[in-house]
Every structure is written in C-alpha cells, then in structure tokens.
Chains A and B, each alone.
Chain A
Amino acid sequence: MNRTDLLNELWEFQNKYGYIPNSAINEIAQSLKISTLEVKGVISFYHFFHSKPTGKYIIYLNNSIISELKGFQQIKAAFEKETGCTFNEYSQNSLFSLFETSCIGLNDQEPAALINFQPFTNLTVKKVKKIILDLKNGVNPKDISSNVISKIQYTPTIDKTVFFRDYKTGNALVNLNKKNRNEILEIISKAKLAGRGGAFFPTAKKWQYCKESTSEKKYIVCNADEGEPGTFKDKSLLNNMPGLIIEGMVIAAYATGAENGFIYLRAEYKYLLEKLKSTIKEFHQNGYLGNNICGIKNFSFNIEIQLGAGSYVCGEEKALIESLEGKRGEPRIQKHFPTESGYLGYSTVVNNVETFAKAARIIELGSNFITAIGTKNSKGTKLVSISGDVAKPGVYEIEWGTTVKQLLKLCEALSPYYIQISGPSGECINNTEFDRKICEEDLICGGSIMVFNRFRSVLQIQENFMKFFKTESCGVCTPCRAGNQILYEKVKKFKRGLCTQKDLDEIQEWGKIIKLSSRCGLGKSSPNSLIMAIDKFNDYFSLKISPASENNHIEFDMENAIQEYDSIINDTQF
C-alpha cells in the first residue's frame, strides 16, 4: 500500500464498518510503516471519517446559513426526535448517527441532508418523520433520496451561451491533432481564461509554467471540492456534462505534457461518482483517454478519481495536493507554485471544474466566440449559483458584466438587502451597490451568491460564517486558528448586546491582522465579510452597539455572570 492510497483505504473501512476501528488503524500504520498516531491524525482531520462506531445510517445535516434560515433548527430537532439520537454525538444506537456538516452544495434546496451520502432536500418535519420511518423499515436510502439536479435557471441567448449548450462527447477534442501545444496555450490565453475557483489566476500562464517545467512527471488535477458555502455550480457541470470537464483536462494534459490526472471529488458529491466513472470509461472506449489520444502519437493521459472526506480547506490547491498524497489537508507554505512542485513534488496543474469546462468550450468554439462576450478583462460567461431569499434559486449562466440588479431581477429576489458574493470568504454588498457589475473590473465572483432580505439578521449571518471558519481552519497557523475563534466570540458578544464602538473598531483591526499574517487563503479571507459588513451596514450595527459608558465602565452582563451560581444554589438547597 502507498501513502497516496490512504484516503481510499480509510474510506473502505469507513464504508464497511461505519467507522475506522483501531485494528484497522494498526494494520494501515504497519503497512505504511508510520506511527498509528499519524493515521489517527489523518482520520480526525476529515469529518466523514469516524473513529468511533456509528449507526447503519449516518445523517449529515447541513448547517450553512441558508439552511439555518430555511428551518435548520426544526429539522435538527425533528431528526433528534424521530431517531432518539443527539447531533454530533456517538451513541449506542445501532441504526442512526447524526452530525452537522458544512455546506453540501444543495443551497437551492435547503434544508438538506445527506443520508449515507444520498441527498435529501427541501426537508420538512413531516418529511423527516417519513424518511426515518422508511429507514427503520429497511428501505434503501438511495430509493427514497431526492433529485439533486440544481435547476439551470438562466442561460443567455445561444450566441452567448458557453457552458449550457448542446454537448457532444469529443467536440472539443476532434480537432486537437491539428493544433500544437503552443497554439492551444495561445487560444486559451487569448480567451483570457482565469481560474474559476475564485482566485482567477490566468490559466494559460499556469499551463505554460507546467509545460516549461522539467519535472519528470506532470499531473493535471481537477478541483471538484466545491466547498465554499452557497456554491453548487460545479455540481451542475459534474452532473450535466461531466465529459466537458474531462475534455478540458485532456486539453490541459496535451498542452502541458502531463500523463496522469485526478479528479478530486468532494465526498458530499459521492452520488455523482458513478456517473464520473462511467464517463471516464466511455472516454477510454472512444479513444479520448488512454494511449495515443485522438490519434496523437505518444499522447497518453489517464484520470483517476480521488474522493475527499469532508474538509473545506482541501479546496485550497496546496491543501488539496496534500490530501491527494494521503495526508492531513494542511496547505503547504507559499514557497512554490504547484506547477513547480506539486503532487509528490512533480509539476501539477490544479484547476477548478468550471475552468476545465470553459477550456474545452474555448477550444471547441474558438477564442473569437468567447472574446465577443463579456467585459474588457472578463471574457465569456460565468456560472453562478444563487440561493437565499429568491423565488428562483439555482444555477445561472451569466455574461460577465451583468449587474447585480439584473441578476436579482432574474432570480426574483424578494426585497434584497444583503448580498454575499463569492461565499463567506468573499464580500458582501448592500442595496446601494446593486448597479455594480459582476466582472474582474468591478465585483469578481467565484460562483456563490447568497441573497438575504431585509428581515434577516446580519449578525446571524456573520455568526454562522465565523463558526464555519473556526471549525474549517486547518489548525496549523495561529492567526487563523485562534483569530477566527476570537472573532467568533466577538460576534457572540455582539449578539448579547454588550458591544460598543470600540468593539467595532477592534473587529476591523483584528481582522486586518488575521488577513495579513495567515498562512493560506482561508485565513487571509475569513474576516473579509465581517469587516465589510460593519462598513456597509453601518446603520444596522450602530443600532446594535451600546453608547460609550460614562465613568469608564465597560458593558458587563451581570445577569449572565451570576446565573450559573444562582441556579446551582437553587438546585442544592433543600
């Protein structure tokens, strides 16, 4: 067994026993010649791995902000009532185990849960009752699971649609043998393709680095670990046209000279695994994968699928690579680009699902088709996933340059007040900014758009976000691990009405420190939304703060401070 197989090996035990028993840990450690603690370290990093026995049905209920607003608490209570179990605890119950989990890419159908990795969406108390009853009667979760197809709510006119147009296997690859590697890079570069995971690094440049690398082996990795809360656009591509993504990977492999590729699929999308596998098989049969692809001599490329195991930070490319290597998903230090030293030290290109799909379309349609759409810097279209207080949640293919206002109209937003662009790590905007355009020049968007109406609590949103970051931080660097926890405490203090202007200033200052000194993108962006919200929802926050106290006293909640003592005394004096 190789270290790189560790995640797969752990999955095998997890699936077989419902947890990873000590005997398995010892066995794995022995065969890898590593200490058992190292294996335990990996298991405890990924929250879909359990080291204690679980029930036959493991239920993961999404606790993202949209879920929270659509009835998370009631659904949670319903699950607890029906199963007799408590969330996030290991019990003796042999049938059920309940856990909360971060966004599972079903924000348009919240509240949603995964039961043995089968999706259950738009949950109601009644539905929960029925599901649990069925499961108790031995029904296979797969047979009663929900349809997860996120509705594609909008595409531009056909001359401006890039992704969601007819797809035929191999369309992008048929003419590959007529172009050389430099020509491919040129076309991609001309179409200004930039990383669609949210960092928008020029794709052609990345591929160029890999092409020029003298690395003995090269790898193409498709990042299908779409973990940013509120994003589910990659899922719609994986579900609707997995072939397009693979074609993009083949093109990348051709341009860079890579022979092996991975699709790192988040475990939350495990139900798409079979589809991906069969697409890869189909590609092999058609000669689009394997040896001498498209009749190009010596061009061989193979793709393996690696299933993640529940970790937001693994969407960060340097953490993803660590995870691929069978380690804890701790992002590597920012010393080398993965194209210099990536998977196992070899040159590696990591791109988002949408980037590969777009690359395939660029080659298929030509760069002129793409450059005719969009703005000066952002060419083509962008997939965004819209959720929250809108009548039509789902996936939208929009032309770069579309204004927020247009978008809100399309999705029929209901008195929009607070919009979160690009997820919790992105930025928030208020209703004076609805004329802003979604494009590189103005408001860049990785894919998540969450709409909140004016009856939603900004503090509740921020509390959810900070809780998310404090749990999903990889835990390695101080500012992110401790800092996010400190900010979370501050938001809680706010909710209790104990904050003054000084606390607002402190959030801004502390947030800046966390952003400046964190090790990877997670910590560098985690305080963004909170800092911005304070700026942009000044009226809201100024109503939440207490006036500066006279006498130099600090706000103090005495009632809360003595409540515990009072109740102990009450309970013990007979």
Chain B
Amino acid sequence: MKDISFNIDGRTCTAEKGLNLIEAAKQNGIFIPTLCHFKQQNPLGSCRVCTVKLNGRAIAGCTINIEEGMDIEVNTTELLDTRKAILEMMFVEGNHFCPSCEKSGDCQMQNLGYETGIRFTRFPHLFVERFIDAKSERIIINQNRCIKCKRCFEEVKTSDGYSVFNFINKGNKTIVSVDYEQEAKLSESQAEYAMNICPTGAILVKGKSLSKPFGSRTFDQGIKGKTIPFNKINKNSSNGQKKRVATTSLAGCFGCHMSMLDIDLGLLDLIEVVQFDKSPITDIKKFSKRCDIGIIEGGCSNTHNFEVLRAFRENCDILVSVGECAIWGGLPALRNTIPLEDCLKEAYLDSLTSEENETIIPNHEDIPKILNKVYSNHEIVKIDYHIPGCPPNSNHIWNVIKNILFEEEYAIAYPEFKYD
C-alpha cells in the first residue's frame, strides 16, 4: 500500500492508505487517547474518548481509515475539553474508588484522567448501586468500574468461538455480564488476557489481580529514586506579613493532614511565612481572624461537617479541597450506594460489638445528623482549588499551596497526579 498524506491540526502527516487514524496519528507522533480501541480489532466507537473532527464533523477517531487529503482536528480547545468531559462522565457514572482498586496504577482510564488533568469532575457523581459478580470460576466482574467499552466482547472468545462477555439490558441500566458456562472453558492465560485488556479494574482474575506491587505499575511512572521536590520558600515573598492558614478534616481519615506534616523540615521554613489559625494542628477551635486560605480534607457526611465547611467558606478567601474524600466523597462515599438505614443498622445494631437485641441508634440533639449521602465539598460551597490523591504527596500539597498563596508559577508534573 502506498503512503498518502493528510492533515492533523494543520500539520501534514503521512501514513499508509486505509490505516486506522489512531495508529496513523501515533506514527506521526500525535497521541489520540482511546479506551475502547484495541490493536486492529473492528472499531467499536463506544467510549468516544477519541472524538476528533473530520472535515469539520465530529466523529470517533478509531472509526476513521486514513484517506488522502483528510483534514483532521485533534487537539483543539473544544475537543480537548470534550474528551475530558467524556472521561469525567465515566468517573461519575461508575463508582471508581481508585484507592481501593486492584488495578490502580495499571488502569488506562486512570492514566487518561492524569493525562487530561482531571482534578475533579464537573458532573455530580451518580452513585448508582452496582454489584460485583464473583460467581464465575476465575473471573470477577466489578460493575462499579466497568465503562462498557466492549473490548472484552470482541477479544475474549472461547477456543470454540463462543463469546464470554456480553451486554445485558439497555439504556442507563446496560451492564457487561459474563457467561459462567463459557467462562469455565477459558484457559488460565485467556482469563488473564481478559483482565489485562480491560481498560479499568472491571475484570479481575481471582488470585491474580495483585501480582505487581503498587508504585511500580505501568502508570505510576515515578522515575526510580526521583521524588517530588520540596520547593523552597522565597522568604521575601511574604512581605513580612504572615499568611493565615486554616485546616480541617471533615469526613476523612486525617491521612491528608498526616501527609501535610510529612514535609518534615520544611515545616521550619513554613512557620516563618505562615500563621495557622483554626486547625487540628494548632487545636484552635474557632476562627480568630479572617484567613487567606482554608485547606479542607474529607467530604460532608453529617450536619457538623456541613456547618464547619460553610464556616470555612465565610472565613477564608480561598478554599482548597485536598484528597479524594474532599473532592467527591472518596472512601466514605462507599456508603452512597447503600441505604442509610442499612449503614446505621450495620454500625450500631448488627455489628459484632453491639449488644444483643440492641434497638437504639445513638442519637441526641448534640450529635450531628447523618446526611443521606456523603457530599463533595463543591456541592455545598464554592471550592477554588482541588488537589487529588489519597493522600496527595506532602511536597506536592505544599508546592501547590505555596503557589496559590504567593502567586508563584508551578507546573504539576505527571507523577504528581494521583488518585490513589
């Protein structure tokens, strides 16, 4: 086949005629993100992350075969934002708890989240209850994480040609299901192949999902030995005026606060330019003065969290949500798909440590009321910045906060971006 030339974002590219656009772009050094496109299989066009414009018309890039003179837009502001939005839709549609996911670090969807710079989702999380099917011999399907890309349908068949995975239902109730009978026919390596081609952690193989240690996985990408630098403070930047900082932990585990303390000796530099106000670190309970910045860990799970958050908004110029829980509920939001009644019963009536025949759920007017679900902070007040991570790296937190406080330049490097 002869090479033909085509245009991507005004740049002339060449590739073999009829080649899939994703591959053709790659050969010309242009990256088009995809989640469903896989090798040479029939284009699926299901995830839509590769949306590009062909001669002005939006289309899934993976469904294009290159022809002479095609004019393709890939990295325009509109398309970059569209791709990011589609990924965000995936995050809010499923229940993607990266910190507790076996595939974290090897997850292509998570990687694209980092690539596209998703710090928080513009859409509210839907928190639909989804089940985990572990009835098969080897394969576990975790519906919370499935993005319905159809890769497994096309790529995983039994040796005698039967499909193992397929859709069930339609509309927003569509799920990927596994055929137990056919699944049993798969060889060990076929099952593992299914797990590996899944772009998220939706398909797992029992006993095989944690073979690679966290931290050294494909997308962890921390260049060995290289840590995130602690950016020294330019002492003149404070103009002698100490910046006031308040912090709090709402429905969180204090892990983000621990991470903040992890800047170690940096703390000595810090106290020269920063004055802590209301914070668990100082144990100051009430705002004594208006603060420049409020750092919030954890989401809103009860009425007290709500009041504290509103007070922070009223008393701080800038609010920063730190960590997954603050940004979208995080691990406490695991309860969002379970009825509140079941949660309370499990905690107070049916737990191993509760008295037999206990019927009273502790309550008193002084005890905060539990909200129907865990809310992200930006559903309650305006949040100015979001720092994802569980917890975010200490130096990373500091570098970002410092940048905000002293209006300094700071570019976030890929390995600093983490959801787990």
- Using CB atoms and an 8 Å cutoff, list the residues of chain A in contact with chain B: 33-38, 40-41, 44-45, 311, 313, 328, 330, 333-335, 470-479, 481-486, 489, 506, 510, 513, 516-519, 551-554, 556, 558, 560-566, 568-569, 572-574
Question: How far apart are the CA atoms of A132 and B43 in the complex, in Å?
Answer: 51
Contacts of B126 in A (CB 8 A): 482, 485-486, 489
Q: Are B163 and A38 in contact (CB under 8 A)?
A: yes
The 9 closest A-B pairs by CB, nearest first: A475-B174, A37-B179, A552-B382, A482-B93, A482-B89, A333-B45, A41-B166, A35-B179, A471-B171
Contacts of A35 in B (CB 8 A): 162-164, 166, 179, 181-182
Q: Could you mark each residue 182-210 of chain B with 1 if its beta carbon is under 8 Å from any beta carbon of chain A, else 0?
A: 10000000000000000000000000000
B1, CB-defined interface residue at 8 Å: no
Q: Could you mark each residue 323-355 of chain B with 1 if its beta carbon is under 8 Å from any beta carbon of chain A, else 0?
A: 000000000000000001100100000000000
9 more CB-based (< 8 A) A-B contacts, given A37-B178, A40-B177, A475-B167: A333-B60, A473-B171, A476-B174, A478-B89, A482-B126, A553-B310, A553-B382, A565-B340, A572-B360
- Shortest distance between the CB of A123 and any CB in chain B (Å): 26
B303, CB-defined interface residue at 8 Å: yes
Contacts of B168 in A (CB 8 A): 37, 40-41, 44
Contacts of A36 in B (CB 8 A): 179, 181
Question: How far apart are the CA atoms of A564 and B48 in the complex, in Å?
Answer: 38
B380, CB-defined interface residue at 8 Å: yes
Question: How far apart are the CA atoms of A556 and B82 in the complex, in Å?
Answer: 28
Ordered by A's residue number, 22 sampled pairs between the chains whose C-beta atoms are within 8 Å are: A35-B163, A36-B179, A37-B164, A37-B182, A38-B163, A40-B166, A44-B168, A44-B169, A45-B170, A334-B63, A475-B169, A475-B173, A478-B90, A478-B148, A481-B171, A486-B124, A506-B122, A517-B48, A562-B369, A563-B372, A564-B341, A566-B369
Q: Considering residues A311, A556, A573, which has the most beta carbons from chain B within 10 angstroms of its beta carbon?
A: A556
* Interchain CB contact (< 8 A) of A477 among B48, B172, B380: B48
B308, CB-defined interface residue at 8 Å: no
Contacts of B369 in A (CB 8 A): 562, 565-566
Contacts of B78 in A (CB 8 A): 516
B59, CB-defined interface residue at 8 Å: yes
Q: Are A519 and B380 in contact (CB under 8 A)?
A: no
Q: Are B306 and A513 in contact (CB under 8 A)?
A: no
Within 8 A of A (CB), among B127-183: 147-148, 150, 161-174, 177-179, 181-182
- Using CB atoms and an 8 Å cutoff, list the residues of chain B in contact with chain A: 43-49, 51, 58-60, 63, 78, 81-82, 85-86, 89-90, 92-93, 122-124, 126, 147-148, 150, 161-174, 177-179, 181-182, 303, 306, 310, 313-314, 340-341, 344, 359-361, 363, 369-373, 375, 378-382
Contacts of A560 in B (CB 8 A): 372
Q: Are B47 and A478 in contact (CB under 8 A)?
A: yes
Question: How far apart are the CA atoms of A501 and B366 in the complex, in Å?
Answer: 36
Q: Are A517 and B51 in contact (CB under 8 A)?
A: yes
- Shortest distance between the CB of A152 and any CB in chain B (Å): 34
Contacts of A561 in B (CB 8 A): 371-373, 375
Describe A's contact surface by its main secondary structure. helix
Q: Are A573 and B381 in contact (CB under 8 A)?
A: no
Q: Are A569 and B363 in contact (CB under 8 A)?
A: yes
Number of A-B pairs, beta carbon distance below 8 Å: 199
Contacts of B363 in A (CB 8 A): 569, 573
- Shortest distance between the CB of B174 and any CB in chain A (Å): 3
Question: How far apart are the CA atoms of A383 and B197 in the complex, in Å?
Answer: 50
The answer to whether residues A554 and B169 also contact, given A476-B148, A517-B51, A564-B340 and a CB cut-off of 8 A, is no
Contacts of A556 in B (CB 8 A): 306, 375, 379-380
The answer to whether residues A37 and B163 also contact, given A473-B172, A562-B303, A568-B361 and a CB cut-off of 8 A, is yes
Q: Considering residues A513, A518, A551, A568, which has the most beta carbons from chain B within 10 angstroms of its beta carbon?
A: A513
* Interchain CB contact (< 8 A) of A478 among B86, B181, B360: B86
- Shortest distance between the CB of A285 and any CB in chain B (Å): 41
Q: Considering residues B51, B86, B178, which has the most beta carbons from chain A within 10 angstroms of its beta carbon?
A: B86
* Interchain CB contact (< 8 A) of A519 among B60, B171, B340: B60
Q: Are A510 and B85 in contact (CB under 8 A)?
A: yes
Q: Are B82 and A481 in contact (CB under 8 A)?
A: no
Chain B minimum-CB-distance residue to A563: B372
Q: Are A474 and B43 in contact (CB under 8 A)?
A: no
Q: Are B174 and A481 in contact (CB under 8 A)?
A: yes
- Shortest distance between the CB of B67 and any CB in chain A (Å): 12
The answer to whether residues A486 and B167 also contact, given A335-B63, A471-B172, A565-B369 and a CB cut-off of 8 A, is no
- Shortest distance between the CB of B196 and any CB in chain A (Å): 21
* Interchain CB contact (< 8 A) of A328 among B122, B170, B181: B170
Question: How far apart are the CA atoms of A333 and B173 in the complex, in Å?
Answer: 21
Chain B minimum-CB-distance residue to A557: B372
Q: Are A552 and B381 in contact (CB under 8 A)?
A: yes
- Shortest distance between the CB of B193 and any CB in chain A (Å): 18
Question: How far apart are the CA atoms of A41 and B182 in the complex, in Å?
Answer: 15
Question: How far apart are the CA atoms of A483 and B86 in the complex, in Å?
Answer: 9
* Interchain CB contact (< 8 A) of B48 among A40, A334, A518, A552: A518
Chain B minimum-CB-distance residue to A470: B172
* Interchain CB contact (< 8 A) of B89 among A486, A489, A506: A486
Question: How far apart are the CA atoms of A41 and B310 in the complex, in Å?
Answer: 48
Contacts of B381 in A (CB 8 A): 551-554
Question: How far apart are the CA atoms of A173 and B53 in the complex, in Å?
Answer: 45
Question: How far apart are the CA atoms of A40 and B174 in the complex, in Å?
Answer: 12
Question: How far apart are the CA atoms of A139 and B359 in the complex, in Å?
Answer: 52
Contacts of B174 in A (CB 8 A): 474-476, 481
Question: How far apart are the CA atoms of A572 and B181 in the complex, in Å?
Answer: 45
Q: Are B63 and A333 in contact (CB under 8 A)?
A: yes
Q: Are A45 and B58 in contact (CB under 8 A)?
A: no
Chain B minimum-CB-distance residue to A516: B58
- Shortest distance between the CB of A432 and any CB in chain B (Å): 31
Contacts of A518 in B (CB 8 A): 48
Contacts of B85 in A (CB 8 A): 510, 513
Q: Are A479 and B171 in contact (CB under 8 A)?
A: no
Contacts of A470 in B (CB 8 A): 171-172
Q: Are B48 and A554 in contact (CB under 8 A)?
A: no
Q: Are A37 and B166 in contact (CB under 8 A)?
A: yes
Contacts of A481 in B (CB 8 A): 93, 148, 171-172, 174
Chain B minimum-CB-distance residue to A550: B314
Contacts of B48 in A (CB 8 A): 477-479, 517-519
The answer to whether residues A479 and B86 also contact, given A553-B310, A560-B372, A565-B370 and a CB cut-off of 8 A, is yes
Q: Considering residues A35, A38, A330, which has the most beta carbons from chain B within 10 angstroms of its beta carbon?
A: A35
Contacts of B303 in A (CB 8 A): 558, 562
Contacts of B382 in A (CB 8 A): 552-554
Q: Are A473 and B166 in contact (CB under 8 A)?
A: no
Q: Are A34 and B163 in contact (CB under 8 A)?
A: yes
